[in-house]
Amino acid sequence: QITLKESGPTLLKPTQTLTLTCTLSGFSLRTSGVGVGWIRQPPGKALEWLALIYWSGDNRSTPSLKTKIIITKDTSRNRVVLTMTYVDPVDTATYFCAHIRRYYDPFRGEYLPLVDHWGQGTLVTVSS
Amino acid sequence: DIQMTQSPSTLSASVGDRVTITCRASQTISNWLAWYQQKPGKAPKLLIYEASTLESGVPLRFSGSGYGTEFTLTISSLQPDDFATYYCQQYSTYITFGQGTNLEIK
């Protein structure tokens, strides 16, 4: 059974660095094709994809936050870490990590990421 | 960036109704579209992927259609458990979500 669990601080001050950990269960980052992503949701608002990383280390970030976030993996501990620098009150949100299933697009010759299993989420508040 | 626009933002309906939610992409995404259901305080749940493929375990009253830039999610006969917020999401280029449709009890 695939499960993911987010952990990290619940309250930060502006300009601080946010580090969130996603602990994986039921699947391994050593397995070819495996991916994990981060998505956030400000209170009462829509979902926003942040970043993803694959078993190979290949990673992607949403263009608007590319200079602000880093995604890394710790294969030995089966964890994925999201780091976000210089947080602001607009970064207040529930942060979800999620398992990604890849699908092959034969027309473009590339794999595409489908988010299928989600963690429960963790609320992070940024306030002075 | 590919923008996803859902309509309506809010939909009021009754148990037993047939409802349809529409999602439009700002550029073609083939059939690389998913639908999620989210209840308050919970994580989203995958319902449909590749525009029309039902995820395992999802009731058959849910269906999806569309290709290119126009997509729909249909619930054939609303059940009490279906009142929730629904999001479309493209995964053709990066990942972007629609703004959500709140399906509420009339």
Do the Cβ atoms of A68 and A86 come closer than 8 Å? Answer: yes
Smallest Cα distance from A46 to chain B, Å: 5
- At B50-76, the pLDDT tens digits run 999 999 999 999 999 999 999 999 999
Alpha-carbon distance of A3 to A92, in angstroms, equals 24
Amino acid identity, residue B57? Answer: G
Residue contacts between A and B (CB atoms, under 8 Å): 60
Percent of chain A with pLDDT over 70: 100
Q: In this predicted structure, what is the pLDDT of residue B102?
A: 98
What letters, b where the CB count within 10 A reaches 16 and e where it falls short, cover B65-85? ebeebebbbebeebeeebbbb
Residues 46-85 of B with CB under 8 A from A: 46, 49-50, 55
- At B1-56, the pLDDT tens digits run 899 999 999 999 999 999 999 999 999 999 999 999 999 999 999 999 999 999 99
Amino acid identity, residue A96? Answer: F
| Inter-chain residue contact A115 with B46, CB threshold 8 Å | yes
- At A55-76, the pLDDT tens digits run 999 999 999 999 999 999 999 9
Residue B51: closest C-alpha in chain A: A114
- At A76-100, the pLDDT tens digits run 999 999 999 999 999 999 999 999 9
| Inter-chain residue contact B91 with A113, CB threshold 8 Å | yes
**Secondary-structure percent of chain A, ordered helix, strand, coil, rounded to 5:** 5, 55, 40
Q: In this predicted structure, what is the pLDDT of residue A27?
A: 96
Q: In this predicted structure, what is the pLDDT of residue B64?
A: 98
Query: Is residue A39 helix, strand or coil?
Result: strand
Do the Cβ atoms of A37 and B95 come closer than 8 Å? Answer: yes
What are the chain A neighbours of B31 within 8 Å (beta carbons)? Answer: none
Rg of chain B over Cα atoms, rounded to whole angstroms, equals 13
| Inter-chain residue contact B89 with A47, CB threshold 8 Å | yes
Alpha-carbon distance of A128 to A8, in angstroms, equals 18
Backbone angles phi, psi at A89, to 5 degrees: -55, -25
> B27: how many CB neighbours lie within 10 A of its CB?
12
Nearest beta carbon to residue B94 from set A46, A60, A120: A60
Q: In this predicted structure, what is the pLDDT of residue A73?
A: 97
Query: How sure is the predictor about A18, in pLDDT bands with cuts at 50, 70 and 90?
Result: very high
